[in-house]
Amino acid sequence: MAHGQRSRVESHLAEVEALLERALQTRSERIALAAALGRITAEAVASPVDLPLFRNSQMDGVAIRTADLTGLAWREFPIVGEIAAGPAEPQPLEPGTAIRIMTGAVVPRYADVVVPVERTIATEGGVRIDEQWLPGTYIRERGSDLRVGDTLVEADVRLGPRHLAALAASGVAEVHVRQRVRIAILTTGEELVLPGETPRPGQLFDANRFSLAALVEEAGAEVTALEHARDDIRSFGELFDRVRADADLVITSGGISEGTHEVVRETLVPRGAETRHLAMQPGGPQLLGLVDGTPVLGFPGNPVSTQVSFVVFARRALREAAGLPHLSPTHYRLTESLTSPDGMRQFRRGRRVDEDRVEPIGGPSSHLVATMARADVLIEVPDDVVELDAGEDVRTWEL
């Protein structure tokens, strides 16, 4: 293939991403810290306080003045009190005295070292210290971790437990995050039933309902509706209008081929969507368009076709909108040969054997959903390639 030449798969991908560009414009919202795990910061968060908030002890021990040890081989101090962790405003420490202190407790003024309890010798009414200590030892100074106004968390960071801990420690109760893209999912087909139900002859379990919801959430978006539609134009149209009202994007599965009873095509094409058949396997039939202002992507109904279509056409744009890193294609060497129809872009299921090799598993058919579960990559076979030998380099897409 000549450099710069674009296959129909790339052309369709470009149209999909152009369609989604407006729908996936970055918006933001302020949410409670308790709900922020995994969300992406929309702006840098500055600390409203110093961390630590106050001068405190790093150890259980006694607080003293290092000046009282100068030039002495040892010194015995009377214990004049005790400070536990918690609200406290201790009096300044008098020269020649010590105060028992617990980890995290406020260090009194003029005390400049905390001697760990295991490095002291208890005496009647006091404590003996026979080591020299440097000022500041085992004392956490106010602001030694972070100063007020310093950046606590950068923008475009996916918040993990460590970030939530730092935000909470700084007293931040809410955080400004990217708003998730809202996606409504509609599966179709009279033949589908939910797992747990008893299928009648000719019925199948609805795999797409669960795979699409998981793919959407994994890509950092939010599922606002997860519905199954009957093969009836009127009821499908009513359901579509209901779910699109709260969605930035509607994704459908099934109902877009050229035969009869193709409810998605028959309903949405007259309203502005377009179907096409790509030179792609699996995932040939595709639908896209702007229906009454709402972007719509229609994927084929076979479970593998649905998953491959999402990975190839939707995942990158959704992850980018969510602020998640791009899953760039990688290259491996084939462990065995495979063939592909001329002029057809194939996405075969594969499993990585090691850091250098990938093995094809199963055939190219779009119904092999169990084989898909055993795969961890898609092996891409270009349009103009009909045979690949063992050892040849192939491009793969992570699953």
Task: Summarize the confidence of residues 295-310 as an average pLDDT.
Answer: 95
Q: What is the per-residue pLDDT for 144?
A: 94
Report the mean per-residue pLDDT for the chain: 91
3-class DSSP state of 233: helix
Contact 311, 378 (CB under 8 A): yes
CB atoms within 10 A of CB 204: 13
Does residue 159 sit in the same domain as residue 73? no
Residue 195 pLDDT level (bands cut at 50, 70, 90): confident
Token pair recorded at residue 218: 């994994």
Q: What is the per-residue pLDDT for 133?
A: 94
Q: What is the per-residue pLDDT for 71?
A: 77
Per residue in 319-336, pLDDT tens?
A: 988 888 888 889 999 999
Q: Look at residue 108 and tell me if it is in a domain.
A: yes
Task: Summarize the confidence of residues 277-293 as an average pLDDT.
Answer: 93
The set of residues, in sequence order, having a beta carbon less than 8 Å from that of 109 and lying 6+ positions away, is 90, 92, 93
Q: Look at residue 154 and tell me if it is in a domain.
A: yes
Does residue 98 sit in the same domain as residue 172? no
What are 128's strand-pairing partners?
A: 76, 121
Does residue 295 sit in the same domain as residue 339? no
Q: Which of 63-67, 258-262, 325-329, 381-385 has the lowest mean pLDDT?
A: 258-262
Task: Summarize the confidence of residues 326-350 as an average pLDDT.
Answer: 92
Give the amino acid at 309: S
Q: What is the per-residue pLDDT for 117?
A: 95
Does residue 210 sit in the same domain as residue 299? yes
User: Taking Cα atoms as reference points, which of 103, 106, 112 lies closest to residue 68?
Assistant: 112
- What range defines the domain where residue 39 resides? 29-50+149-177
Last residue of a domain, one of 111, 140, 169: 140
Give buried/exposed letters for 29-41 (b at 16+ CB in 10 A, else e): eeeeeeebeebbb
Q: Look at residue 124 and tell me if it is in a domain.
A: yes
Per residue in 248-270, pLDDT tens?
A: 999 999 999 887 778 999 999 99
Contact 371, 390 (CB under 8 A): no
Does residue 346 sit in the same domain as residue 380? yes
Task: Summarize the confidence of residues 72-93 as an average pLDDT.
Answer: 91
Per residue in 119-129, pLDDT tens?
A: 999 998 899 99
Distance of CA 280 to the CA centre of its chain: 29
Q: Look at residue 111 and tell me if it is in a domain.
A: yes
Residue 366 pLDDT level (bands cut at 50, 70, 90): low
Per residue in 113-166, pLDDT tens?
A: 999 999 999 998 899 998 999 999 999 999 999 999 999 999 989 999 999 999
Last residue of a domain, one of 266, 301, 322: 322
Q: What is the per-residue pLDDT for 1?
A: 35
Does residue 313 sit in the same domain as residue 200? yes
**Does pLDDT of 106 surpass 90?**
yes
Gap between the Cα atoms of 381 and 350, Å rounded:
12
Does residue 69 sit in the same domain as residue 110? yes
**Does pLDDT of 81 surpass 90?**
yes
Sign of CA dihedral 101, 104, 106, 109: positive
Task: Summarize the confidence of residues 182-211 as an average pLDDT.
Answer: 88
Strands 75-83 and 56-57: unpaired
Residue 5 pLDDT level (bands cut at 50, 70, 90): very low
CATH number at residue 98: 2.170.190.11
Does residue 40 sit in the same domain as residue 63? no
Does residue 308 sit in the same domain as residue 190? yes
Does residue 120 sit in the same domain as residue 227? no
CATH number at residue 229: 3.40.980.10
Ramachandran region, residue 24 (left: φ > 0; alpha: ψ -120 to 50; beta: rest) = alpha
Q: What is the per-residue pLDDT for 155?
A: 93
Does residue 109 sit in the same domain as residue 189? no
**Does pLDDT of 36 surpass 80?**
yes
Token pair recorded at residue 20: 């989604």
Gap between the Cα atoms of 340 and 348, Å rounded:
9
- 176 versus 324: which is more confidently predicted? 176
Q: Look at residue 2 and tell me if it is in a domain.
A: no
Instruction: Note the pTM of the prediction, 2 decimals.
Output: 0.79
The set of residues, in sequence order, having a beta carbon less than 8 Å from that of 94 and lying 6+ positions away, is 80
Q: What is the per-residue pLDDT for 190?
A: 81
Q: Look at residue 1 and tell me if it is in a domain.
A: no
Residue 240 pLDDT level (bands cut at 50, 70, 90): very high
Q: Look at residue 380 and tell me if it is in a domain.
A: yes
* Domain total in the chain: 4
Does residue 161 sit in the same domain as residue 236? no
CATH number at residue 372: 2.40.340.10
Contact 243, 223 (CB under 8 A): no
Q: Look at residue 203 and tell me if it is in a domain.
A: yes
Last residue of a domain, one of 306, 322, 338: 322
